[in-house]
C-alpha cells in the first residue's frame, strides 16, 4: 500500500492530500529514511511524522484498504508522541 494512502486510511493524517504534502515536504520517514508519498509500506515498518510542534512515531500493524473510523486505531501502534486529534 502507498504511504499516503496508509496515512489516510489509518487516520494518522485525515486527508490524503495532506499526507502527500507531508511526504513531499520531507516530514515523513519510514525506518529512518525520508519517504515519498508513493513509497510502499508493509507491516512492521516504523513511520515517523514531524508535525508543526510534535513528532509521532508508530509501527504499522495492519494494512487494510478500508476500515471504519473506530477500527483505524488498530492499524498502528504508537511508539512515541501522540496522534493528531483535530477533525
CATH classification of 3-80, choosing from 3.60.40.10, 3.40.640.10, 3.30.465.10, 3.10.290.10? 3.10.290.10
pTM: 0.87
Per-residue model confidence (pLDDT) at position 87: 38
Per-residue model confidence (pLDDT) at position 86: 47
| DSSP-assigned beta bridge partners for residue 41 | none
Place of cell 508493509: 42
Contact 9, 64 (CB under 8 A): yes
Per-residue model confidence (pLDDT) at position 83: 62
> How is the chain split into domains, by residue range?
3-80
Amino acid at each position: 500500500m502507498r504511504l499516503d494512502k496508509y496515512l489516510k486510511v489509518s487516520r494518522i493524517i485525515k486527508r490524503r492530500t495532506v499526507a502527500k504534502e507531508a511526504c513531499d515536504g520531507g516530514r515523513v520517514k519510514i525506518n529512518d529514511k525520508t519517504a515519498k508519498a508513493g513509497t510502499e509500506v508493509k507491516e512492521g515498518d516504523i513511520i515517523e511524522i514531524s508535525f508543526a510542534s510534535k513528532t509521532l512515531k508508530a509501527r504499522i500493524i495492519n494494512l487494510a484498504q478500508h476500515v471504519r473510523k473506530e477500527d483505524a486505531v488498530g492499524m498502528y501502534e504508537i511508539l512515541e508522541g501522540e496522534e493528531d486529534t483535530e477533525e
